[in-house]
Amino acid sequence: MILVTGGTGLLGSHLLLQLTLKGSKVRAIYRDVQRVERVRNVFRYYHSDRYEELFSQIQWIKGDILDLSSLEEAMFEIDEVYHCAGMVSFATTDFKKVMKVNREGTANVVNCCLALGIRKLCHVSSTAALGYIENGITNELVSWKNGPEVSGYSVSKYSAEKEVWRGIEEGLNAVIVNPCVIFGAGSWDESSLAIFKTVHKGLKFYTPGSNSFVDARDVATIMVQLMQSDIKSERFLCTGENMSFKELTSRIAEKMNKPTPHLSTPRWLAGIGWRVAALLSLVTGKKPLITKDTVSSAFKKISYDTTKVREALSFTFHSANDTIDNALKGRID
C-alpha cells in the first residue's frame, strides 16, 4: 500500500494517476473535499474512457501532516510514502505558516516513517532548497546559502529537506526530488499555473530573468521510477527545459493567440510595484499579487542541469512546447 501526501495538488494528482495506471493500491490524504474532485477531473482529462475505474483505486483519508494522530492513522499498513504536501507562498506574512507546514510537516512524515518502518520515502523538495549559479548551470552539488535575497519559502524548503537528510542518517531509505516550476493539467488558480491566467488576461511586460519549467507528468514518472529502483540517499533535479521568462510568456501568448509581452520591466518599476502591493495588502487583508521575493526571482538568470536524473533513469523530458500545450488543453476550473 502506498501513501501520498498532498495528493490533491498539481503534482500529487499526476502522481496518483501514474500509480493507479500501474495498478498500485493507493491511499491519499486530503483536507478539502472540493480539491478531491479536481483530481477526478485531472483523471478525466487524461483518460476519459476509464477515469472512474482508475480514480476508484484511491482510498481517500482526511488528515493533515501537522496532525500526528491523523498522519499515523494514514500510515497504517503503508509500505511506501510519497511526500508531496507543502505550502508555497512568498508573502512575508506567511513565513511562520510556511515554515510550520514545510519543515514541521516534513519532520512529522519522517518521524512516522522511521517509527513505522516504512520501506521507502520519496520527498518532494524544490530547486529553492539548493543554491544557484547566476548566469551559470546549477546542479545538485550547489549548496544552499542564506542571504538577504533568499525567500522565506526557500528557507522552509531547505529546512524541510534537512529533516529528510536527518531521517536518512537515522536509517530511513529515502530519495529526494527537486523540481522547479511545474506545469500540467489543473486549475489555473494553482500557484505555478497562474502565469497562464495572467497571459490570458493580457501581458505587456516581461522580466529579464530565466528559470526552468517542468512537466508534472515527468516529475511524477521520475518519482515512481526512483521508488522502484535501488537508488537511495540521493537528490535529483527535475527541471525540464531552461528558458527566459520572455520566451516562456511569448510562447504561451502565441498559443493563446494573444499579443506577446514586448516591454522589459525595469527593476526600479518592479520595486515600486511590490511596495504598492504590500501596502494594498495591509489595507485589504488580501495576499499581495507580487512580493519582494517574487520580484527578486523574476530578475535572476538561473539554469539547471538534469544530467544526473537523465543518466540514472535513462529519462527524456517532455519538450517545453508539449508541456505548455498540455497545460493549455488541460485547464480545469
Q: What is the CATH number of the domain that holds 315?
A: 3.40.50.720
For the chain, helix (H) and strand (E) counts, in that order, are: 14, 14
Grid cell 542518517 in the structure block, residue: 169
Report the number of distinct structural domains present in the chain. Answer: 1
Pair 106, 83: CB distance under 8 Å? yes
Provide Rg for the chain, Cα atoms: 19
What is the structure's pLDDT at 288? Answer: 77
Evaluate whether residue 203 is within a structural domain: no
What is the structure's pLDDT at 69? Answer: 92
Evaluate whether residue 260 is within a structural domain: no
Torsion of CA 106, 112, 114, 119, to 10 degrees: -90
Nearest Cα to 175, choosing from 163, 189, 164, 191?
164
Evaluate whether residue 167 is within a structural domain: yes
Evaluate whether residue 37 is within a structural domain: yes
What is the DSSP-derived secondary structure letter of residue 49?
T
Helix (H) or strand (E) holding 175: strand 174-179
Nearest Cα to 183, choosing from 227, 213, 163?
213
Pair 70, 62: CB distance under 8 Å? yes
Q: What share of the chain is helix, strand, coil (3-state, %, to 5)?
A: 50, 15, 35
What is the structure's pLDDT at 281? Answer: 77
What is the structure's pLDDT at 137? Answer: 94
Evaluate whether residue 27 is within a structural domain: yes
Evaluate whether residue 258 is within a structural domain: no
Side-by-side strand order, sheet with 120-124: 58-62, 26-30, 2-5, 80-83, 120-124, 174-179, 234-238
pLDDT in tens, the chain (333 residues): 999 999 999 999 999 999 999 999 999 999 988 899 999 999 999 999 999 999 999 999 999 999 999 999 999 999 999 999 999 988 888 999 999 999 999 999 999 999 999 999 999 999 999 998 888 899 999 999 998 889 999 999 999 999 999 999 999 999 999 999 999 999 998 888 999 999 999 989 889 999 999 999 999 999 999 999 999 999 999 999 999 999 999 999 999 999 999 988 888 877 878 788 778 777 777 777 788 888 888 888 999 999 999 999 999 999 999 999 999 999 998
Is beta strand 303-304 parallel, antiparallel or unpaired with respect to 137-138? parallel
What is the structure's pLDDT at 127? Answer: 95
* C-alpha pair distances (Å), 316 with each of 53, 188, 217, 244, 247: 29, 26, 12, 21, 22
What is the structure's pLDDT at 283? Answer: 79
Evaluate whether residue 273 is within a structural domain: no
Specify burial of residue 245 (Cβ count, 10 A radius: 0-12, 13-18, 19+): buried
Specify burial of residue 249 (Cβ count, 10 A radius: 0-12, 13-18, 19+): buried
Pair 14, 20: CB distance under 8 Å? no
What is the structure's pLDDT at 158? Answer: 97
Distance CA 154, CA 147 (A): 11
* C-alpha pair distances (Å), 207 with each of 292, 293, 297, 326: 14, 14, 10, 24
Find the domain containing 138 and state its range: 2-188+212-242+303-323
Evaluate whether residue 150 is within a structural domain: yes
